[in-house]
Chain A
Amino acid sequence: MPVTQTETGKIWQRRTTREQWLGWLGWIVLVALFMYCWDVMNRGTMWSFVSDAPRQAADLLNRSWPPRWSYMERLWIPLWDTINIATLGTLLGIIVAVPVAFLAARNTTPSAVIVRPIALFVIVASRSINSLIWALLLVTILGPGLLAGILAIALRSIGFIGKLLYEAIEEIDETQVEAVRATGAGSMQVMDYAIVPQVLPAFAGISVFRWDINIRESTILGLVGAGGIGAQLQSSLNTLAWSQITVIFALILVTVVVSEWVSAKVRHAII
């Protein structure tokens, strides 16, 4: 017990002696693990390469500068594709994620024994695979192009939106639900009047946030042939056209900044 009785009075400590020793043991294990990892890293590194890293970096920068701004005119269409992949993928993800979230939330699921585990599995499966991997799989199945990119973004978004939304549904105020149910409302009406108004701000925030993430993710999907600006990045990398890569990076940076600004504005407007 953290409270010990002594002759002078009661002494209170946050942890018992046993817990204190366990805490120290935990720290020792952590330090040992760190030392071991450091050792592994040293063995796997060729220090001759690292030693001339500053020179290599300077060389790379030298070749990347000045940016070839004339390359921009060939980037507008891929950029438009990228934004479309992100937006359509997010919309598709939302359409699937909303029902999945209601099936997964403990307080709205029709069956906690059968339906809920299935919905949770859908969410976990979607979340456990990166968009790039989804894109890789879909390009092999559907062939290269925008469609593979859109579906990859959608498949990854289902898990993200589904998880955050079902957690928001589980956190609603149940007395409001009780009050609407007490009027004799049907289950769809209870959902419309008591649950949806409570989760709407969270839903809007989550969706816009995911769209913002998807803009970033769709810029690299082209690396595996799923359309968008990543394809240009890939071909520039292959031809070592560093001055073009600088232009692409600058464009991606501007796009991401704009999408963050838009999503911040939208979230602020809704909440």
Chain B
Amino acid sequence: MLRIEALEKRYKTGDHALKGVSFAIEPGQVVGLIGPSGAGKSSLIRCINRLVEPTGGKILLGEIDIASMNRGELRQVRRRIGMIFQEYALVERLTVMENVLSGRLGYVPFWRSFTRRFPQADVDKAFALLDRVGLSDHVDKRADALSGGQRQRVGIARALEQDPELLLIDEPTASLDPKTSRQIMRLICEICAERNLPAIINIHDVNLAQMFVDRIIGLRAGEVVFDGKPDALTNDVLTRIYGDEDWNAMRKTADEDAADAANVAAFEAAREQRMAEVPA
């Protein structure tokens, strides 16, 4: 499906972000990319749709090499790759619907997008996706009127509106609270399973990654140092990826976080019930 061969990225500043990264992804496989800050996770994910230009190696989507495409071909292939961002990267002053429809920009001519007259099929799809991510009531709101979790749902709908063959997801939960993080990760993984859609998820929360993904790739200083099942991620492996740390203590805190989140959820549910019981 996606095969990356000896991918290199050296920035003009001299930073050698990726040193010959190679791996392949099967259809429907959700891969978590973990590693310390500066390991090259963001560079790797951005090289795949060439928001960052790779300096060497191949990126094969199916049979075609993305790394050697010209601008026109690149636009064509970008339509097939959906991307979800850390800070949502919605266009704040456009409505939720416009943000989702912007996923079709690669398919419609300029005048249609300029006059906001998208084909009815695209609009139908946008409504269906907003319904799927649970935002049917917010179609006409401006993106900056939504909460963090809602914005990320719009981001997911925008990526899916493209009908992608691959999802690139850059730190989807870094700006969210623990409970919303889990909900968003669950939503992403459910959708990938429904559509047999492969995804690469950059994620710094190791526990969250282990909870949801099929496979984990550990990156350190621009090199792959681990590639395997989430269960194989032992303390030794984590030390190889991140360096020394008391991993058991970290796991314990994470469990407490999860317990907190569960408590919060229970509290909110109880409150909603109380509110419902109050006679109007």
Contacts and interface: CB of A to CB of B under 8 A. Distances in A.
**Chains A and B are bound partners:** yes
Interface stretch (A72-80, A111-119, A183-191): A183-191
Contacts of B90: 176, 179
B189 to A, nearest CB: 21
Contacts of A188: 110, 114
A179 B83 contact: yes
A127 interface: no
B81 interface: yes
A198 B104 CA distance: 20
A182 B83 contact: yes
Interface string A175-213: 110111111111011001110011011000000000000
A171 to B, nearest CB: 14
Interface string B227-238: 000000000000
Contacts of B162: 183-184
A173 B93 CA distance: 12
Given A186-B75, A197-B94, A179 B113 contact: no
A184 B110 contact: no
Contact of B102 (A175, A185, A186, A198): A185
Given A175-B85, A175-B87, A189-B113, A184 B93 contact: no
A185 B107 CA distance: 8
A183 B110 contact: no
Given A185-B105, A186-B75, A193-B105, A180 B110 contact: no
A176 B91 contact: yes
Contacts of A198: 91-93
Interface string A45-67: 00000000000000000000000
Contacts, number: 82
Interface residues of B, number: 31
Contacts of A189: 105, 110, 113-114
Interface string B1-12: 000000000000
Given A186-B75, A189-B110, A197-B93, A180 B85 contact: no
Contact of A180 (B76, B102, B155): B102
B89 A183 contact: no
A183 B78 contact: yes
A178 B52 CA distance: 10
B81 to A, nearest CB: 7
Chain B CB within 10 A, most for which of A173, A180, A188:
A180
B56 interface: no
A180 B78 contact: no
Given A193-B91, A193-B94, A193-B105, A182 B49 contact: yes
Given A184-B79, A189-B113, A176 B105 contact: no
B178 interface: no
B278 interface: no
B75 A184 contact: yes
B125 to A, nearest CB: 14
Given A188-B110, A189-B113, A192-B113, A183 B102 contact: yes
Nearest to A188: B110
Contacts of B98: 193
Nearest to B113: A189
Interface string A105-136: 00000000000000000000000000000000
Interface in B40-96: 49, 51, 75-79, 81-83, 85, 87, 89-94
A192 B114 contact: yes
Nearest to A200: B93
In the A-B complex, the 8 residue pairs with the smallest Cβ-Cβ separation, listed nearest first, are A184-B106, A185-B105, A184-B79, A179-B89, A184-B78, A197-B93, A182-B83, A175-B89
Given A176-B91, A183-B103, 5 more contacts: A178-B51, A178-B85, A185-B75, A193-B91, A193-B113
Interface of B: 49, 51, 75-79, 81-83, 85, 87, 89-94, 98, 102-107, 110, 113-114, 155, 158, 162
Interface of A: 173, 175-176, 178-186, 188-189, 192-194, 197-198, 200-201
5 contacts: A181-B51, A183-B78, A184-B78, A184-B106, A185-B106
